[in-house]
C-alpha cells in the first residue's frame, strides 16, 4: 500500500520562477546599442564615398542592427509584462493565505 502525503506546508516544493528572456534593463541595453550602431552605419553610408562593397556591407550592418533594435524593444515589452504578471501572482498568493481564526489547522492522526 502506498502512502500519498497530503499537501501540507512541510512537503510542498517551492517553485522558483523561470526566467523566460532577458530582463528589462538587458533588453533596453541591446535596443539602445543596436540603434546607435544602425544610426551610425546609416550616417556613414550617406555622408561618405566608399566603394560599393563597403557601402553594401555598412548598409547590411545597419539593417541587421535595426532588426536587433526591434528585437530588443520587443523583449523589453515582454519582460515588462512578465514582471507585472509575476508581481500579480505573488500578490495573489499572499492575499489568499488565511490568517487568524480562518487559518487551516494541521490534521492530527
Nearest by Cα to 87 from 98, 95, 76, 77:
95
pTM of the model: 0.64
In a structure prediction context, what are the per-residue pLDDT tens digits for the chain, which is 109 residues long?
A: 556 555 555 555 556 656 677 888 999 999 999 999 999 999 999 998 889 999 999 999 999 999 999 999 999 999 888 887 776 666 666 665 656 666 666 677 6
- What pLDDT score was predicted for residue 81? 87
Q: Could you state, in order of their start, the residue ranges of all structural domains in the chain? A: 24-94
Residue with cell 546609416: 42
Annotate 9-71 with three-state secondary structure.
Answer: CCCCCCCCCCCCCCCHHHHHHHHHHHHHHHHHHHHHHHHCCCCHHHHHHHHHHHHHHHHHHHH
Round to whole Å and give the CA distance between 35 and 81: 23
Amino acid at each position: 500500500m502506498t502512502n500519498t502525503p497530503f499537501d501540507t506546508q512541510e512537503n510542498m516544493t517551492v517553485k522558483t520562477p523561470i526566467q523566460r528572456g532577458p530582463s528589462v534593463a538587458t533588453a533596453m541595453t541591446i535596443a539602445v546599442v543596436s540603434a546607435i550602431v544602425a544610426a551610425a552605419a546609416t550616417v556613414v553610408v550617406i555622408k561618405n564615398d566608399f566603394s560599393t562593397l563597403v557601402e553594401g556591407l555598412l548598409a547590411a550592418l545597419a539593417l541587421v542592427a535595426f532588426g536587433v533594435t526591434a528585437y530588443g524593444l520587443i523583449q523589453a515589452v515582454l519582460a515588462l509584462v512578465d514582471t507585472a504578471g509575476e508581481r500579480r501572482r505573488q500578490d495573489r498568493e499572499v492575499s489568499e493565505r488565511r490568517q487568524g481564526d480562518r487559518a487551516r489547522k494541521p490534521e492530527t492522526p
